[in-house]
Structure 1
Amino acid sequence: MKKLRHLSFVLLLSGMLAACSNDDGATENAEASGEEYEPATIRLAYNLPPDHHISHGIEQFVQKIEEESNGQIEMQVFANGQLLSDKDMNQSLLTGGIEMGMNSSTIWSSTVPAMGIFDVPYVFEDYEEVGESLNGEFGDILRSEMEDVGVKVLMFGDYGFGQFANNQRPLESPEDFAGMKIRSVGTLPSELIQAYGASPVFMGGGEVYMGLQRETVDGATSGTTAMVQRSYDEVTDYLTVNNYAYFEFILGVNQEYWDDLPENTQTLIEETANETEEWIRHQTKLEDEETLQVLKDRGMEVYEVPADELDVWKEAAMPVWRTFEDEAGEAGEKLLDIAEEE
């Protein structure tokens, strides 16, 4: 019996020592993997469909933050409009209803007019130019304008270049728009549609297919990624590729919430956001090229405006530049000056 009790004691002691050893090892591993991060729960909302390349980027962003913090930072993601519509999201972000939100620059422009720069036609000519601009003074101005209303920009998510699809006729010059009804998404895009002689019709993204099918509208402007995802080829016959605008989505965080986060948490989020922004930008170019080919393969008649004809399209669009300058003031003028210099 004494031997049995002695054996039990030895086993118990060994177990306790092993447990202590495991705890020490777990602590070392936790510290190495980011256990030192303070616990936080961050709600992030966006409205893009799950198969969009920006959505993939956001999911990578979320996953890395949770992994690097060893789960201490919990990211609660509400995708595809589960929590907020795009119209409601900005107000919720400004008031702290959510901590993070990703929304289009077009929608932000109603609160921060300078964000309308991405809807000003023919400001950007290629993907690399966008990245260089956003990493320089151009991007700094936009970040500052957003901070003035209480939102810190974490990431610019490239959506891609905007094009025109329609079910009436090829659009090979601005004059070809005359008399058509084109779905629009904001003030400046509507100005452009009017400048080209058509009538803008405001319509949500989910309504466009039915609107084209029922001929409530004759055409729509969007990126080719959305055109493929929403099957525009089934309800339109013609596509004009003129890269007239470069659509952006903004990942922002409530400034007051951000200021209260520990410095190492801020650093982790910012570094991860920068990596994700670069991945999305690279992916955007691939997506634009692939989806354009898909639309061609599906039978859409595609007209790609030759480079030597773009000046005609730009000249007809100049009223939009003047409208933007009036709305965005000094910041808008500075952004246009930088864009023209570059």
Structure 2
Amino acid sequence: MKFTKILHAAASLSAAALIGAGAAQAAERLSLSTWGSPKHFQVEKFVPVFEKLLEEKSGGEFRMKTFMGGEMLKQQFVASGIPQGTVDISLTTLDNWSGQVPEVSILTTPLWTHSMEWTRDNMKPGNPVFDYFDAKFRDAGAVIIALFDIGPPVLSSNFEVTGPESFEGKAIRVYSKGSGIVVQALGGAPTIMGVGDVYSGLQRGTVDGALGGLGGAVGLKHYEVTDHMFMPNGVLGTLLHGYVMNKDKFDSLSPEQQDQLMSAATEARDQMQQFGIDSTEKLVQVVRDSGNTVTAAKPGTPLWDAFATKLEPLADDARATYPAELVELIAAK
């Protein structure tokens, strides 16, 4: 009798072990890639929160493997790597997708005048602008799981900006086709350069200045190799970033898992976006404390108006180039 009980107990333990092993095998494994500074709030304040929320919401059904600093996918290759399945999820600059989704370049034109606060409150699933771009990305093999604004691009440079003419003849690092068009309109020479190469490019004089996000410029210490920072405050367009996911992988998830993933991404994004808003002045002060001169073009000032006037033909071209539906969505308050 005792031997029979022992066999039954052993069988029960074996069954439990098999069930446990099966559950472990059933855990959905996801890979996530970022680039740039791991200390940038778009990474540091999003990834750990997203992972924690996804684990909580799914009851541990997901397992995440994270690759930082462009280890798996560099910034400029996200638009090809995500549809190909190089990784499941990646940080991205939206305008890097202009080859597959031409409409995203409207974000770098003077037509985009929305603040970071507007983005925080509106650029979520269910919002017309978010859903418009998500539909386009799905056609390109990706799903947008989060959109956020890291603030208008700033120019880290070794020349002072006193007006649009300051750009003439200068080699300027740009991060996308759209930002390159803006620099060209100002008389500059745009140079596509990955975020990891900007510091050395400024240090060696390969470029005279570099456009990019404020958080990245501070996190990667561009102020160590420059003398000036220009803050256009949106007159040169903005920097919408996001996290995108391979569409086939997303579609392979159950509807419940998709909801869990999107909910976790949205909550993490909300927290990260607010942190970015709250951190702007602190980041600018780091640049000032380094000895760099900070010049800001604020709406209504002569400097802002000079750039707006110079770029008005570009704005007119954008209105004529992009779909009327999108132009109307972007203009809506």
- Normalised TM-score (structure 2): 0.84
Listed as ranges, the matches of 1:112-123 within 5 Å are 112-121=101-110, 123=112
1:191 maps to 181
1:92-131 residue pairs with structure 2 within 5 A? 92-121=81-110, 123-131=112-120
Contact 1:125 1:243 in 2 (8 A): no
SS at match of 1:277: helix
Cα pair distance change 1:176/1:43, threshold 3 Å:
same
Distance 1:97 1:230, change over 3 A: closer
User: How far did 1:37 drift?
Assistant: 11
Find the counterpart in structure 2 of residue 216 from structure 1.
Answer: 206
Q: Tell me how large the CA RMSD over aligned residues is.
A: 2.9
Partner of 1:339: 330
Report the AA paired with residue 34 of structure 2.
Y
Structure-1 residue corresponding to 2:166 = 176
Contact 2:54 2:261 in 1 (8 A): yes
Which of 297, 308, 320 is 1:305 aligned to? 297
Query: 2: CA distance between counterparts of 1:156 and 1:37?
Result: 32
Measure, in 1, the Cα distance between the counterparts of 2:223 and 2:27.
48
Structure showing greater Rg: 1
| 8 A contact 2:154–2:230 mirrored in 1 | yes
Does structure 1 residue 85 correspond to structure 2 residue 82?
Answer: no
Q: Is the 8 A contact 1:158 1:281 kept in 2?
A: yes
The SS at the match of 2:294 is strand
1:269-313 CA-partner distances (Å, limit 9, x unpaired): 111111012112101112322111111111111112232132331
Whole-angstrom CA distance in 1 between matches of 2:220 and 2:153: 15
3-state SS of 2:113 partner: coil
Residue 266 of structure 1 deviates from its aligned partner by 1.2
Partner of 1:207: 197
What per-residue deviation string (whole Å, max 9, x for no partner) do you get for residues 174-210 of structure 1?
1222222211122221111122222212222222222
| 8 Å contact from structure 1 (residues 172, 240) kept in 2 | no
SS in 2 for 1:216: coil
Q: Which amino acid aligns with 1:145?
A: K
1:82 is paired with a residue whose SS is: coil
Deviation at residue 323 of structure 1 after TM alignment: 5.1
> What are the Cα deviations for residues 95-119 of structure 1, in whole angstroms up to 9, with x where unaligned?
3343222211121122111222321
What does residue 132 of structure 2 align with? 141
* Whole-angstrom CA distance in 1 between matches of 2:86 and 2:151: 29
What are structure 2's unaligned runs of at least 5 residues? Answer: none
Deviation string, structure 1 residues 19-68 (Cα, Å, up to 9, x no partner): 99xx8xxx9xx9xxxx8995211122221322111112122102322344
- Give the counterpart of 1:53 among 30, 38, 41: 41
Q: Distance in 1 between matches of 2:316 and 2:140?
A: 24
Displacement, 1:257?
2.3
- Unpaired segments ≥5 residues, structure 1: 1-5
Query: In 1, are the aligned partners of 2:35 and 2:74 still within 8 Å (CA)?
Result: yes
- Report the count of equivalent residues: 317
C-alpha separation between the residues in 2 aligned to 1:299 and 1:189? Answer: 27
Q: Structure 1 pair 106/285, CA: closer, same or farther in 2 (3 Å)?
A: same
> What do the CA deviations read for 1:225-283 (whole angstroms, capped 9, x no partner)?
12212222222112221223321222122223222211221111111111012112101
Partner of 2:312: 318
- Indicate yes or no: 2:148 matched with 1:154: no
Q: 1:79 to 1:319 in 2, by over 3 A?
A: farther
Which residue identity is paired with 1:236?
A: T
1-side partners of 2:68 and 2:174: how far apart?
23
Change (3 A) 1:231 1:99: closer
Question: How many angstroms apart in 2 are the aligned matches of 1:231 and 1:46?
Answer: 18
Find the aligned partners of 1:223 and 1:99 in 2 and give their Cα distance.
24
Please point out which of 215, 228, 232 is paired with 1:225.
215
Aligned partners of 2:280, 2:315: CA distance in 1, in Å? 25
Task: Tell me the distance in 2 between the aligned counterparts of 1:172 and 1:37.
Answer: 61
SS at match of 2:110: coil
Residue of 278, 281, 285 corresponding to 1:289: 281
1:63 aligns with 2:52: yes
Question: Tell me, what secondary structure is at the counterpart of 2:239?
Answer: strand
Amino acid at match of 1:46: T
Normalising by the residue count of structure 1, what TM-score does the alignment of the two structures yield?
0.82
